[in-house]
């Protein structure tokens, strides 16, 4: 559990059913009633999103008191909550000193996607990723991973889980960090996310993105069973070695072999290949042709991502015409790869930057940053009712295509964040 709970009590969020049972027994719940108590609690926590035990009105007072004395359902603390003018929301969350992470909600016409972080910082050092230049602070625990979903659903009024029009319909593990370097906690959290008696999201609506931790890919398929996205970004080892350094450990041939044998990949469940467009680095038309050759035989979709620049970044985004030509080759080979507009991609860099600052400053200038945040928040509009925002967004901003989720995470929505 996080060492972060204000009360010092154990959070029940993120415990597997067995661990929940064990916690109840340890707190003094009689063995004979523990099964029933576990399923009652599970329902309150994951179907109804109960924030405190007092709300659990069908439970005996004595049992509620026991829960209150021993446990908590506390969510991560919200440091900042921002809303873009089309309804995209971003939260900066905190569960302890220096433990800050972001989560982003992207509403679209036919779905609502939550982009979830798995680590604070990252070890991968991808050359084009600003967050990747930060050192790893630590892995997030299951309650902190799930806590991102709880914060979002609380704010969106998205309980109970059985409601017909759920606001968070999809989850992508595409926030900070490398989920396959935090396998056990990510698995524990996603198994709860997809549990039919609780949060009840279909595995088809959960996507895990990896830079290519090859040995863990088969385990992810077998033990998590979500959709898979690969941050490919290059078609030749000599380039990928530089921009996605984990490639030196697990080169392209091994990565693609793992994709070929990924359990459950099919035309209905395609593997997503993410490809950031870096001017003069990986964006030649020859590379577009190599890309389609490389993934031949793999049920795949390709997301071309215009590079989001950040101060000091060693790359530039490819020219727009080049991206279009690249996309045309990919499209002609039969892969949908809609080109996103460049609108606001700079602000995605600002998004990554915001996170970097909060971690870096935590050690040296925590107090200064917090007063700065307070000033910033005072000038920002408060949270708005997303349902209104969502209705106000123009359909052209919500094309409902496969690529738009990533597109929105990476660019447009955060561009129009009020400052």
Pick one of 120, 140, 305, 323: the residue that binds ligand SAH (CB under 6 A).
305
- Shortest approach of ligand SAH to residue 95 CB, angstroms? 20
Verify binding: residue 258, ligand SAH, rule CB under 6 A. Answer: no
Pick one of 148, 182, 231, 405: the residue that binds ligand SAH (CB under 6 A).
231
Pick the catalytic residue from 100, 102, 108, 287. Answer: 102
- Shortest approach of ligand SAH to residue 29 CB, angstroms? 39
- Shortest approach of ligand SAH to residue 178 CB, angstroms? 4
Told to judge if 102 belongs to the known catalytic residues of this protein, a careful annotator would answer yes
Told to judge if 351 belongs to the known catalytic residues of this protein, a careful annotator would answer yes
Pick the catalytic residue from 108, 126, 351, 407. Answer: 351
Q: Which of residues 116-175 bind ligand SAH (CB under 6 A)?
A: 124, 126, 128-129, 174
Binding part of the chain for ligand SAH, among 61-69, 142-150, 203-211, 359-367 by CB under 6 A, reads 203-211
Residue 216 has, within 13 A of its CA and on its CB side, a CA count of: 18
Binding mask 318-357 for ligand SAH (x = CB under 6 A): -------------------------------x--------
Binding mask 211-230 for ligand SAH (x = CB under 6 A): x-------------------
Pick one of 103, 170, 194, 209: the residue that binds ligand SAH (CB under 6 A).
209
Closest C-alpha among 276, 337, 281 to residue 308: 276
Determine the size of the site formed for ligand SAH (CB under 6 A).
Answer: 17
Closest C-alpha among 144, 92, 88 to residue 112: 88
- Shortest approach of ligand SAH to residue 274 CB, angstroms? 4
Distance separating alpha carbons of residues 325 and 165, to the nearest angstrom? 39
Q: Which is nearer to ligand SAH, 106 or 386 (CB)?
A: 106
Enzyme catalytic residues: 102, 351
Tell me which residues touch ligand SAH (CB under 6 A): 124, 126, 128-129, 174, 178, 209-211, 231, 274, 276, 305, 307-308, 349, 410
């Amino acid at each position: 559990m996080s060492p972060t709970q204000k009360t010092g009590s154990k959070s029940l969020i993120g415990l597997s059913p067995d661990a929940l049972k064990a916690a109840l027994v340890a707190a003094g719940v009689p063995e004979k009633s523990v099964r029933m108590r576990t399923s009652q609690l599970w329902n309150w926590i994951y179907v109804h999103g109960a924030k405190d035990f007092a709300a659990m009105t069908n439970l005996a007072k004595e049992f509620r008191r026991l829960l209150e004395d021993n446990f908590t359902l506390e969510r991560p603390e919200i440091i900042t909550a921002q809303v873009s003018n089309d309804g995209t929301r971003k939260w900066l969350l905190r569960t302890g000193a220096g433990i800050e992470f972001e989560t982003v909600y992207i509403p679209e016409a036919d779905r609502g996607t939550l982009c979830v972080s798995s680590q604070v910082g990252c070890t991968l050092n991808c050359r084009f990723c600003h967050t990747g230049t930060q050192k790893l602070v630590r892995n997030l625990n299951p309650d902190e991973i799930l806590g991102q979903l709880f914060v979002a659903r609380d704010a969106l009024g998205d309980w109970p889980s059985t409601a017909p029009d759920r606001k968070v319909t999809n989850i992508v593990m595409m926030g900070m960090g490398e989920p396959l370097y935090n396998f056990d906690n990510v698995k524990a959290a996603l198994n709860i996310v997809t549990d039919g008696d609780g949060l009840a999201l279909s595995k088809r609506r959960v996507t895990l993105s990896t830079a290519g931790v090859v040995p863990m890919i088969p385990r992810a398929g077998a033990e998590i069973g979500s959709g898979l996205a690969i941050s490919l970004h290059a078609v030749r080892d000599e380039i990928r070695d530089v921009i996605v350094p984990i490639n030196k450990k697990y080169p392209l041939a091994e990565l693609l072999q793992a994709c070929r044998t990924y359990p459950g990949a099919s035309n209905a469940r395609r593997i997503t290949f993410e490809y950031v467009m870096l001017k003069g680095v990986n964006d030649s038309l020859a590379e577009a042709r190599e890309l389609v050759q490389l993934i031949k035989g793999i049920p795949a979709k390709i997301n071309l991502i215009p590079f989001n620049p950040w101060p000091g970044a060693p790359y530039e985004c490819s020219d727009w015409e080049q991206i279009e030509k690249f996309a045309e080759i990919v499209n002609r080979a039969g892969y949908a790869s809609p080109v996103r507009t460049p609108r606001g991609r700079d602000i995605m860099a600002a998004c990554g930057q915001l996170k970097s600052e909060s971690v870096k400053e935590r050690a040296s200038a925590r107090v200064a940053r917090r007063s700065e945040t307070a000033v910033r928040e005072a000038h920002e509009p408060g949270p708005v009712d997303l349902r209104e925002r969502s209705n106000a967004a123009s359909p052209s901003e919500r094309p409902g295509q496969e690529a738009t989720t990533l597109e929105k995470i990476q660019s447009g929505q955060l561009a129009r964040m009020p400052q």
